[in-house]
Amino acid sequence: QNEKELQDVVKQQEEKMLQLIDKSGEVTRLKGEVSQLKRSLQRVETEAKVLWEELRGQEPKADATGVQERVLLRQEVDKLRLLLLEKEEESSRLSSKY
């Protein structure tokens, strides 16, 4: 009877471990989605900022190509800032780990 109880406990622990693994995978997937949404939000905010600056200081006939070029340049700068922040965070994580 003790052996059967022990087998039941082991089975329950295995089920709990599988549930935790599933939840861990879901958390990782959700973190990826959040990161992607943050990047999208940053891109849209950048576009809005550039367009607002252009509209605020422009004549009625704004150069669409120039505006688009500024949006792209601002996006590149934002991407580079984000990469720098990610590398700095990774570096500090590794430093604190070791």
Q: What is the pTM of this model?
A: 0.46
Q: For the chain, what is the largest distance between any 2 Cα atoms, rounded to a whole number of angstroms?
A: 88
Q: What integer is the mean pLDDT of 71-84?
A: 84
Q: What integer is the mean pLDDT of 63-80?
A: 80
pLDDT tens by residue, 33-61: 888 888 888 888 888 887 777 777 765 55
Per DSSP, the three-state class of 4 is helix
Question: Which residues 6+ apart lie within 8 Å of 78 measured at CB?
Answer: 42, 43, 46
Residue 98's H or E segment, with its range, is none
Q: What integer is the mean pLDDT of 10-14?
A: 93
Position 80 scores a pLDDT of 86
